[in-house]
Amino acid sequence: MKVLAAMSGGVDSAVAAARAVEAGHDVTGVHLALSKSPQSHRSGARGCCTVEDARDARRAADVLAIPFYVWDLAERFDEDVIDDFVAEYAAGRTPNPCLRCNERIKFAAVLDKALALGFDAVCTGHYARLVNGPHGRELHRAVDPEKDQSYVLGVLTVEQLAHAMFPLGDTTKAQVRVEAATRGLQVADKPDSHDICFIADGDTAGFLRQRLDPDGDAHGDIVDVEGNRVGEHDGVFGFTVGQRKGLKIGTPAPDGRPRYVLDVSPVSRTVTVGSAADLDVRALTGLRPRWCAEPPVGRVECLVQLRAHGAPLPAVVRLLDDDTLDVELLSAARGVAPGQAVVVYDGTRVVGSATIDGTRR
């Protein structure tokens, strides 16, 4: 097969490309330039869009003796991922940009271009397994539970998965590093990237403030569940449901227990806080479901995951209509943030996902 290997400059995508080469595929490496003004060097371990990362990817391609190009997708990334990220926060939700990037960039813009140019598949260093099973091409959790990335791939459709290749799903991260060293890939010891690649300094609130509140006049009230004003904030976009740190509330709660963000309302500029127990969610609604297997018919028992690195929770899901998924949790979950995805699993197999909209206690 002609395979396009997306190479970020990190160890995972380098080893994934190496495995594709070893499997006998005709592999071409591509580094996706996603930042409009790439920095020359990484600051800390974050990000994957620096000139240095492009160089690391190129060196890995050299070692594998495969052709290598850089594709400029900065404009698309800006529109489809960053603007969406900012808009979601502005609406009081908590988006997952990695998921959006997989949905709109890696397995849409890149995959479409690759197919048009004559490639058969796009290969990435995601930790997830693609298995041909009784349900056709099945997406499963990776064997390394620490690294499993099936959650951020839960948005992919059957058509997208048909042209995807994840060679690392059956391997642990530690094994991947050893393998990289054995293969002579210089990136073997490169630190993991984490957080949000386009916020190089890791200051998400600062990034959002710059975009949404350049004049610094977005302040509003922090209230408790009874509506009493307990503090002030300088912009709702800094808050996520379930957040405990950084509330800066002067008056302690009557029970002396820590308080958490329960709700974020951009229109009234109100952040509602309450106790940990108030965070419990027993049901939720997901919008815009996408399925990579047969959609559920009637009430279906399954597992759901409500955030990246979250635990799988037993639930019953039901499609209310084509666009709305109802999820009943069999035990309460804490800190469920609208905007995140609910990914539906049958055991380790991904069935589909939806964007969390409303939650119910």
List residues near another protein by CB under 8 A: 26, 28, 31, 33, 38, 51, 54-55, 58, 65-67, 69-72, 74, 76, 108-109, 112-113, 115-118
Examine the residue annotation and report whether 101 is marked as an active-site residue of this protein: yes
For 13, the enclosing helix (H) or strand (E) is: helix 11-22
Query: Cβ closer to another protein: 116 or 297?
Result: 116
Query: Cβ closer to another protein: 74 or 101?
Result: 74
DSSP H stretches of helix in 183-320: 204-212
Query: Cβ closer to another protein: 116 or 267?
Result: 116
Nearest approach in angstroms of CB 165 to another protein is 18
CB of 301 closer than 8 Å to CB of 316: yes
Query: Cβ closer to another protein: 63 or 91?
Result: 63
CB of 339 closer than 8 Å to CB of 95: yes
User: What is the SS3 assignment for 282-303?
Assistant: EEEEEEEEEECCCCCCCCEEEE
Q: How many CB atoms lie within 10 A of CB 353?
A: 28
Query: Cβ closer to another protein: 72 or 294?
Result: 72
Examine the residue annotation and report whether 48 is marked as an active-site residue of this protein: no
Instruction: Name the catalytic one among 49, 101, 123, 292.
Output: 101
Nearest approach in angstroms of CB 93 to another protein is 24
Find, among 320, 294, 326, 341, the residue nearest to 103 by Cα: 341
* Largest Cα span, the chain: 66
Could you tell me which residues are beta bridge partners of residue 70?
Answer: 31
> Which residues, at least 6 apart from 215, have a Cβ–Cβ distance to it below 8 Å?
none
Cross-sheet strand order for the sheet of 121-123: 68-72, 26-33, 2-6, 121-123, 164-165
Amino acid of residue 265? S
Query: Cβ closer to another protein: 60 or 222?
Result: 60
Q: CA 321, CA 15: separation in Å to the nearest integer?
A: 42
Query: Cβ closer to another protein: 66 or 165?
Result: 66
Nearest approach in angstroms of CB 111 to another protein is 10
Q: CA 122, CA 102: separation in Å to the nearest integer?
A: 12
Nearest approach in angstroms of CB 233 to another protein is 37
φ/ψ bin of 278: left (φ > 0), alpha (ψ from -120 to 50), beta (otherwise): alpha
φ/ψ bin of 210: left (φ > 0), alpha (ψ from -120 to 50), beta (otherwise): alpha
Nearest approach in angstroms of CB 31 to another protein is 7
Q: How many CB atoms lie within 10 A of CB 1?
A: 14
Nearest approach in angstroms of CB 33 to another protein is 5
Find, among 264, 215, 214, 216, the residue nearest to 236 by Cα: 264
CB of 286 closer than 8 Å to CB of 356: yes
Instruction: Name the catalytic one among 48, 49, 123, 197.
Output: 197
Q: CA 350, CA 357: separation in Å to the nearest integer?
A: 20
For 263, the enclosing helix (H) or strand (E) is: strand 260-265
Nearest approach in angstroms of CB 29 to another protein is 11
* Residues known to be catalytic: 101, 197
